[in-house]
Copies of this chain bind each other. A is one copy, B any other.
Amino acid sequence: MSSITRLHSRAELRSWRDSLSDSVTVGFVPTMGALHRGHGTLFHAACEGNEVGLASIFVNPLQFNEGADFKRYPRTADEDCALLERSGVQAVYLPDRIDMYPDGYETRVRSGPGSELYEGYHRPGHFEGMLTAVFKLFQRCRPDRAYFGEKDAQQLWLVQRMAEDLDLDVEVIGCPTVREEDGLAFSSRNAFLAPEQRAVAPIVSRALYACRESFTAGERSVALLERGMHDLLRSEPLASIEYADVVDERTFRPADSDQPGPWRAVAAVRVGDTRLIDNLELGDARSPGMT
C-alpha cells in the first residue's frame, strides 16, 4: 500500500503542487476530518475523475459559531489518513490555524441573501467562515475539480455560487448523500448521539422522503408540503425542529407556489444537543406531478 503524502504547511503544499505537471488534473476534497463513509464517495469521485486526488483536513475555527462545538468536534487524524490512503487519495494538506490565518489576518469571503436563511440564520458567521477557508484552500491547492457532499446542500450551493461569482477556475461538483440503512445521513456529528437519540434520528430523513412522496403525487402547495414535514417531526418528542422547509434550488430562498421551479426539501433538527441536517431533491415543480 502506497503511503499518503502529508503536507503540514503552505510551503510543503506548494512544493508538492508545483511538482505536478500542468497537464495533470487534480481533484480536491476539503474536509474537517472525522471522516466517515459519507466522505468516502467524495474521495472516490475525486480519484476517479482526476489523475490525482488531494484532500485537506482543517477544523476551521472561523466556521464554528459555538466555541463548544469547535472544541468537541471529533479529531481523528490518524484514522482519517488511513481512510484517505485506502480511498486512493495521494496527498493530504493538514494546515494548522496559523498556517491558514497568520497574525493580523483580516479578509473574509461572504455571500449574500442565499447565505442568510436556514444554516446561515441558525449558525451566524458559519458560511462566511466556510467560504473564507474554502477559498483559501482552492487558492493553495489549485484543483481542477472540487467535491462537496449534497448533504450540506446550502454549502454546496454557496461554494458553486462563489466559484462562479469570483471567476475561480475550479469545477465544483456535488456528490449524493450517503445514508445508514435506516435512512440517517452519515455525519461526523452522529457520533454524539446517545443510543435512544440514535434510534429516533431517522425521523429527519423520513420527513424528507414523505415530503418527496407528496410532491411526486402532485402536491404543489409549499405550505402543505412543509406542514407534512412539521407534523411528522413534531410527533417525536426527542426531536426539536429548527427548520423543515422547501427551497428553490436556483436561489436557496423559500420556494413559492406561484413561481414553481426546481425544489428541494431541507431540514435541521436538534436531537438532544446534536444538530442533524439533511435535505432531499423534490423535482421540478414546473412539471405536473403524477396524480
Contacts and interface: CB of A to CB of B under 8 A. Distances in A.
Interface in A108-167: 108-115, 131, 135-136, 139-140, 158, 161-162, 165-167
A106 interface: yes
A251 interface: yes
Contacts of A107: 109-112, 131, 161-162, 165-166
Contacts of A166: 107, 135-136, 139
Contact of A110 (B104, B105, B110, B167): B110
Contacts of A162: 107
Contact of A108 (B104, B109, B250): B109
Interface in A81-96: none
A144 B112 CA distance: 30
Contacts of A131: 107
B167 A139 contact: yes
Given A139-B167, A251-B104, A109 B109 contact: yes
Contact of A106 (B108, B115, B139): B115
Q: How many copies of this chain?
A: 2
A175 to B, nearest CB: 22
A233 to B, nearest CB: 30
A165 B111 contact: no
B110 A165 contact: no
Contact of A136 (B106, B139, B167): B167
A47 B104 CA distance: 32
Nearest to A115: B106
Contacts of A250: 104
A131 to B, nearest CB: 8
A113 B106 contact: yes
Contacts of A115: 106
A279 to B, nearest CB: 19
Nearest to A128: B110
Most B CB contacts (10 A, CB to CB) among A108, A110, A251 go to: A108
A251 B103 CA distance: 11
Interface of A: 10, 104-115, 131, 135-136, 139-140, 158, 161-162, 165-168, 250-251
